[in-house]
Amino acid sequence: MAEITWELLEQQIAACRRCPLYAGATNKVPGQGDPQSPLMLIGEGPGAEEDRQGQAFVGAAGQLLTKMLAAIELPRERVYICNTVKCRPPGNRTPTADERSACLIHLRMQVSLVRPKVILILGASAARTVLGEDVYITRVRGQWRERKGVWIMATYHPSALLRDPAKKREAWEDLQQVRDKLIELGCYREIYQPV
Ligand code: URA
């Protein structure tokens, strides 16, 4: 198998036709941020603004995400941010299990390249992709799992917090746990910067 590189990943995503979503995408949205960050965030899929700019989490949910990271004193540039699918689902619908599964090869490559110590999953769709199709975000959020030395936790998607601000308290608890895990693993100082 060819060695995995960022260049290869970019080429694969650019040329990808593994599911029908490519046909409606203005821009593919691979993800962005610090490619060596100890913290990786995985969302669902690009929305309208992400599709327009080719960048993950730059719309309203992205603005909230930036604030959530700032609350644990992490500038978003120091974190690697991506989605389970790299093309916008039409009308911002939730990507199907088949679409997520077709795109998983790219997410796996990203995890191999970034080699994060901590992964924070944002929302139900990403939780199903990473933790299994039978999980419910309300049940798994806030709980750590360790896989091959990587600590993984799910929390609510920022869009869910925009729809239901009552969930913000739990999301804040989850974020504090992420900060504490990074401290425990000795990698918080690498990316910490009061904002
Ligand atoms: N929602 C997501 O899950 N990802 C984005 O990039 C934007 C909104």
**Best CA proximity match to 31, nearest among 5, 61, 58:** 58
Specify which residues 146 forms β-bridges with: 151
Q: Ligand 1 pocket, 38 CB below 6 A?
A: no
pLDDT one-digit tens code per residue, 110-129: 999 999 999 999 999 999 99
Best substitution site from 50, 65, 66 to test ligand 1's pocket, by max atoms within 8 Å of Cβ? 50
44: Cβ below 6 Å to ligand 1?
Answer: yes
pLDDT at 2 over 80: no
The confidence band for 49, taking pLDDT boundaries of 50, 70 and 90, is very high
Residues 9, 41: Cα–Cα separation, whole Å: 18
Backbone angles phi, psi at 55, to 5 degrees: -125, 145
Q: Is the CB of 51 under 6 A from ligand 1?
A: no
Considering the domain 6-191, what is its CATH architecture?
A: 3-Layer(aba) Sandwich (3.40)
Question: Tell me, what's the pLDDT at 1?
Answer: 65
**Average pLDDT, integer, range 89-96:** 96
The one-letter amino acid code at 173 reads E
**Does 83 sit in the ligand 1 pocket, CB within 6 Å?**
yes
Closest CA to 185 of 161, 157, 149, 153: 149
pLDDT tens digits for range 135-162: 999 999 999 999 999 999 999 999 999 9
What is the reported pTM?
0.97
What are the domain boundaries of the chain? Answer: 6-191
